[in-house]
Amino acid sequence: MKDSAIKTVRRIAMVGFDGIQVLDVTGPLEVFSRAGRLLVERGETAAPPYEVVLAARHAGPVKASSGLALVASATLAELGEVDTLLVSGGVGTRAALQDELLLEWLATHAPRARRYGSVCTGALLLARAGLFDGKRVTTHWAFLQELAALAPGARIETDAIYVRDDRLWTSAGVTAGMDMALAMVEQDWGRRLALDVAHQLVMYVQRHSGHSQLSAMLAAQSSSAEGQFRRLVGWIHDNVAQDLSIECLAQRSDMSIRNFSRRFHEETGLTPAKFVEQTRFEAARRMLAEGDDALEKIAGLCGFGSAETLRRVFVRRTGMSPAAYRLRLQREHAPVTALAAPRGL
C-alpha cells in the first residue's frame, strides 16, 4: 500500500569515509533514485520523492577501496534533517572506528532520522556508537564475531541478508544493501514499485530478509566449482521436492553409495543429507517470506513431506516454528503508519 504521507522530498543520506566500498554507497542510493524516477514517469508524484546525498566529515572526494573516488556533497555538520540515514562499509571502517567525532555524531544524529542503519561493516560504526543495545542486527558474515564484541547487548542475526528492528535497519555485505533499500521503498510505496525497481536494475529477484547470507547452493558451488558435482548441486537446488535420498543421488552420479558419500563430502564440505536438508530449509524460508501458502503445502513443495517435519527442522535451526518465523517477517515488513514530518523542498 502506498504511503500517502510521503508528499515532499525525503533526504536519504549515506555516511561515507575514505576506504568505503563503492557498491555499499551507490547500490542502495540508486534504488531510491530509480524509485523516484519511476514515480515521476508514472505521474504519481510531480517530483522525485527522494533526494540522495553522500555526506562525510569533509565535503569533496571520498576515496573508495577500489581506487575510485565519490564526491561528498555535504558535510555531516551541514547535513540538516534526514529521513533515512545509512552508514556505508568498506576497508576504511577500521580507521573510522577510531574517529571519535564521527562516532559522537552518529550516536546523536542517527536516532533522529525516521529510519537509520548500515550497509555491511557500517554496522561496526553504529555498534561502536552505542546504538545496538537490545537490538536485532546483522552484518557481513565475515564480521559477525567482531560485531558481537562491539555490541555485546545486541541480538545478532547470523544468517539474514538484512534485519529490520523498528526504525533500525542493518544489512549484510554489498548487494544486500540494495535488497534492504528495496524493502524500504516497499515500506514507503508498496511492493509493486519495489519489484519494478528490481526489474529495472536487472536484479534476479527482490530478496526478502528471510534469505540466507551463506546459502548451501553458493557454498557447494564454490567448493565444487571445478569438481564433478557442480551440476548435481544445481539440480538438487532446482528439484527439492524430488527423491533426494543418498541412493538416488548416488545412482544419478553413477557411483556407489559409499564412494558418492565420501567424494561429495570431500568436495562440498557437507554430507549429502546435510546439503539436501539445508537446501530444502532455504527453499522453505523463501516461501514463508514471500507468500502465504499453508505450511503443509510448503512442506510438500520443499521435500519435507509433512508440516511436522518442516516444524522440527525450523525449531532445530532457528529456535522457532515456521509460523512464528513467518509472523516475525510480516511484522518487520509492515508499512509505517505514522511518519515524521518530511523535509520540504
Instruction: Give me the catalytic one of 120, 182, 284, 299.
Output: 120
Say whether 120 is catalytic: yes
Paired sense of beta strands 10-15 and 50-56, if any: parallel
End-to-end CA distance of the chain: 25
Q: List the grid coordinates of 281.
A: 530449509
- Region for 142 from its dihedrals, namely left if φ exceeds 0, alpha if ψ lies in -120 to 50, beta otherwise: alpha
What secondary structure, in 3-state letters, does the chain show?
Answer: CCCCCCCCCEEEEEECCCCECHHHHHHHHHHHHHHHHHHHHCCCCCCCCEEEEEEECCCEEEEECCCCEEEECEEHHHCCCCCEEEECCCCCHHHHCCCHHHHHHHHHHHHHCCEEEEECCHHHHHHHCCCCCCCEECCCHHHHHHHHHHCCCCEECCCECEEEECCEEEECCCCHHHHHHHHHHHHHHCHHHHHHHHHHCCCCCCCCCCCECCCHHHHHHHHCCCCCCHHHHHHHHHCCCCCCCHHHHHHHCCCCHHHHHHHHHHHHCCCHHHHHHHHHHHHHHHHHHHCCCCHHHHHHHCCCCCHHHHHHHHHHHHCCCHHHHHHHHHHHCCCCCCCCCCCCC
- The owner of cell 536494475 is 201
Contact 20, 92 (CB under 8 A): yes
Residue numbers annotated as active site: 120
